[in-house]
């Protein structure tokens, strides 16, 4: 299986690093990192250094590149770019996608799958989300600072969910907390109801989320916002 991670930033670096540690150099799988600039140059020269809450290690993918031409068809793609660069990245790997290519987007937004599907209609695009706090800390280096590191993914059609159980196992075998769900829309909206309220209220009150929870008045306000978003 050819696995491609598009965007080796905070999110892509963590999951790409775990996949590369488990599968790079194996006969069964090939790991492709798609990155750019000095970050790519450092990965090609020295590998990707990944620091997690529990360990630190350096890995090398089978291929690190900014150009996917000639790499053939990808079997599994993790999209980890920023939302503003999504369409451009999708156009770049369109030539590497076919009817059996499974794409899992791991960037914020409830319409990400639809945006990818509009560019790569032939691919099997799932819904996906991640709970993680991570970032690039230097060229060729990524740190997972917080969050569970959980990937939640699944098809829009719940009747097809079991078709993707092997992908869940593939990710879990690499040490990734991956959960395949039948109702991906529920999972997506659950996350973004929380994110939208948290971002709005921390800005409005000028407080951290923890400080808001410590204030009975602010916490009550938060609960009202959550209920209003849910109702809409």
The structural domains of the chain, with segments of one domain joined by +, span 2-182, 188-231
Residue 18 pLDDT: 98
Question: Do 48 and 144 contact (CB within 8 A), yes or no?
Answer: no
CATH, range 2-182: 3.40.50.720
Six token digits for residue 144: 């997972």
* Contact residues for 24 (Cβ-Cβ < 8 A; gap 6+): 30, 31, 59, 60, 61, 62
Residue 232 pLDDT: 64
Per-residue pLDDT of the chain (232 residues; tens, 9 = 90+): 999 999 999 999 999 999 999 999 999 999 999 999 999 999 999 999 999 999 999 999 999 999 999 999 999 999 999 999 999 999 999 999 999 999 999 998 889 999 999 999 999 999 999 999 899 999 999 999 988 999 999 999 999 999 999 999 999 999 999 999 999 999 998 887 777 777 778 888 887 767 887 888 888 888 887 777 767 6
pTM: 0.88
Residue 147 pLDDT: 86
Q: If residue 67 lies in a helix (H) or strand (E), which one and from where to where?
A: none
Q: What is the sign, positive or negative, of the torsion defined by CA atoms of 164, 169, 175, 177? A: positive
* Contact residues for 168 (Cβ-Cβ < 8 A; gap 6+): 153, 178, 179, 180
Residue 156 pLDDT: 93
């Amino acid at each position: 299986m050819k696995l491609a991670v598009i965007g080796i930033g905070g999110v892509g670096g963590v999951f790409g690093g775990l996949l590369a540690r488990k599968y790079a150099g194996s006969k069964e799988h090939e790991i492709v990192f798609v990155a750019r600039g000095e970050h790519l140059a450092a990965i090609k020269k020295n590998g990707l250094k990944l620091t997690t809450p529990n360990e630190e290690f350096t890995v090398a993918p089978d291929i690190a590149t900014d150009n996917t031409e000639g790499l053939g068809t990808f079997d599994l793609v993790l999209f980890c770019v920023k939302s503003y660069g999504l369409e451009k990245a999708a156009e770049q790997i369109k030539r590497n996608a076919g009817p059996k290519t499974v794409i899992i987007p791991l960037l914020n937004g409830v319409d990400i799958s639809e945006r990818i599907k509009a560019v790569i209609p032939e691919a099997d695009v799932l819904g996906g989300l991640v709970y993680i706090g991570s970032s690039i800390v230097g060229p060729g280096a990524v740190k997972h600072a917080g969050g569970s590191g959980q990937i939640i993914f699944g098809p829009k059609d719940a009747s097809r969910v079991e078709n993707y159980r092997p992908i869940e196992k593939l990710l879990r075998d690499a040490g990734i907390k991956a959960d395949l769900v039948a109702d991906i829309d529920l999972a997506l909206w659950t996350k973004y109801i929380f994110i939208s309220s948290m971002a709005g209220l921390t800005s409005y009150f000028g407080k951290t989320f923890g400080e808001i929870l410590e204030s009975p008045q602010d916490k009550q306000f938060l609960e009202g916002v959550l209920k209003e978003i849910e109702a809409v």
